[in-house]
Structure 1
Amino acid sequence: MATVETKTAQPRERILQAATALLAEGGREAVSTRAVSAAAGVQAQTIYRHFGDMQGLLDEVARRGYASYLAAKQSQGDDGDPVAQLRAGWDQHVAFGLANPALYRLLYTEPRPGQQQFAVTGDAHRVLLGIVERVARAGRLRTGVEDAAAMVHSSGMGVTLTLIAAQADGRLAQYAGLSENVREAVLGSVLVPADEAAALPHRAANGPAAVHAVALKSLMSDGIRSLSPAERSLLGEWLDRIASGDGTAGTAREEGDGDRP
C-alpha cells in the first residue's frame, strides 16, 4: 500500500508522493480522492485546494515523473550525428515506458477531451522535431520533417505500449528485438542511406531532387531575409511538391503552355 512521510513533508508534497506511489502500484484507477487522502494523511479539500481537481493532480504527477526523461532528451544539444541521436532518442523513449508503465499510459493514452496534447509530451515532441530538422539539414531525410517525426513518434509509441503489455503479462522475452527491428524499418523509410547522401554533391543536377528539397525547406526555417513572407510561403509550397514527388501542378501548367499561341 502506498505510504508517504507525513511528519516532515508539506501537504502538497505528501499528496504528490501518495499519488505517484498509487499510480505506480495500481495504475490510473488506483489514484482516487479517497486513496490519495488516506495515503497522504490529508482531507479531500486539501487536494482540491492545491491542484484544483484530480486531473490537475495527475497532470502534476506526470510532469514531475517525466522531468528527468525530458531533461535527458534536451541535454543532447545540437552537436553530434543527428541520425545517431534519433536512434538513441527512440531507445530512451522505449526504456522510459518500460521503467514507468503506469506513468507512460497516463501520458500517452489518457484521454483529454477538448484539450491539446499534454504540455510535457509536447516538449518532448519538439525535441524530436529539432533532431529530425538536423537530419534534414544533413541531407539524410527523404520525407518532410513533420511527416518523418510523426512516423517516428507514432511507431515508437506503438512499440512501447506493446512491450508494456507484454511485460505486464510476463511475455517480454518473446518480443526481444521488436523495438530495434521496428526502429530500423521506420528509419529506413524516412532516411537516405549514408553512402547515397555522401554522393549527392557529386551527382548531376537532375539527381534526387526530393532530398535537396527537404534539406532546403529545413534550412528555410531560419528565415531568408531576401524573400518576403509571401515568397517564402510560395517557395515552401514548391519544395513540398518536389519532396513529395507531386508533379501534378507542373504538368497542368506545361499542358496549358502548349495551348498558347
Structure 2
Amino acid sequence: MTTRAVADTAGVQAPTIYRLFGDKDGLLDAVAEHVMAEYVESKARTPENPDPVEGLRAGWRSQIEFSLTHPELHLLLGTRSRTSPATEAGIGVLRDRVHRIAVAGRLLVSEERAVEMIHAAGTGAIHSLLEIAPDARDHGLAEAMLDAVIGAIVAPAHTHGHARPGASVEVRAAAVTFAAFVPEMPALTPSERALLAEWVDRSIRSAQAG
C-alpha cells in the first residue's frame, strides 16, 4: 500500500503523513509501536498468578501466541537498529515476573541472567516457528524451550512427600532471594546497599559459573 493510499484511507493529505512520520517506514514504525504498546499494557494489567512460575508460563504463552498471530509486527520490530520503547516495556514486565520468582525463593541465577535467558529463548522459539508454515509448526517447541529454561534457573517447589533440593541449590536460591531484597533494606546508606549488592552478586555469578 502506498503512502497516498494510506492518507486517503485516513482522510488526510499525503503531506500530513510525511510531516508526522517522515516517510512510509516511519509510519510503519509508529503503527507497530502502537500495537505493541497496547499489547504490553494489557499484559501489565493481567492479574498475577499466586504461583510466580505459573505466572511466567502464562506470560510466555501469551507472548508466543501474540507474535505468531502478528508475524509482520514481530519481524518489523526485530529488524530495527534500536529497541522500541514498547519492547523495552515488555521486557520490564518480564523483569517483574522474574523478580517475583526471586522473592519467592526459587530463582537459582541472578535476575538479570534469568531475564536474558528467557528473552533469548522466547525470541529464538518465535523466529524458528515463524520460518515454518503455520500448518506444519510444532507448537510444543516453545513450551519445551520454556521447560528447559525453567529447569535451569528455577528451584523445585518444596512439595510434601517429595525430596527437598540439594543444599547447594538452596544456597543459590537463598542468595538470589537476598539480592532481591537488598534495595529495600532499611538502616543502610545507598553506598552500603551498593556494596552489599556487589558482594551478593559476586557470589551468585560464581555459582552460575561453577
Distance 1:176-1:131 versus aligned 2 partners, 3 A rule: closer
Shift of 1:209: 2.1
CA RMSD of aligned residues (A): 2.9
Distance 1:217-1:195 versus aligned 2 partners, 3 A rule: same
Contact kept in structure 2, 1:209 and 1:242, CA below 8 Å: no
What are the Cα deviations for residues 93-136 of structure 1, in whole angstroms up to 9, with x where unaligned?
100011111011112x1222xx4x10001111101000100100
**Corresponding position of 2:147:** 184
**Corresponding position of 1:220:** 182
Answering whether residue 53 of structure 2 is matched by residue 47 of structure 1, we say no
**TM-score, L = length of structure 1:** 0.70
Answering whether residue 129 of structure 2 is matched by residue 159 of structure 1, we say no
Match of 1:150 among 116, 120, 142: 116
Distance 1:167-1:35 versus aligned 2 partners, 3 A rule: farther
**Corresponding position of 1:27:** none
Answering whether residue 188 of structure 2 is matched by residue 232 of structure 1, we say no
In structure 1, what is the Cα distance between the partners aligned to 2:164 and 2:96? 25
**Corresponding position of 2:79:** 110
> What letter corresponds to residue 183 of structure 1 in structure 2?
L
Answering whether residue 17 of structure 2 is matched by residue 60 of structure 1, we say no
> What letter corresponds to residue 94 of structure 1 in structure 2?
I
In structure 1, what is the Cα distance between the partners aligned to 2:38 and 2:4? 29
**Corresponding position of 1:95:** 65
> What letter corresponds to residue 178 of structure 2 in structure 1?
L
**Corresponding position of 1:4:** none
Structure 2: gaps spanning 5 or more residues: none
Distance 1:235-1:128 versus aligned 2 partners, 3 A rule: same
Shift of 1:171: 2.5
In structure 2, what is the Cα distance between the partners aligned to 1:35 and 1:165? 30
What are the Cα deviations for residues 171-195 of structure 1, in whole angstroms up to 9, with x where unaligned?
22xx241111111001111101113
| Greater relative contact order, per chain length (Cα 8 Å cut-off, separation 6+) | 2
Aligned residues: 207
In structure 2, what is the Cα distance between the partners aligned to 1:185 and 1:79? 21
**Corresponding position of 2:103:** 137
**Corresponding position of 1:5:** none
Distance 1:35-1:243 versus aligned 2 partners, 3 A rule: same
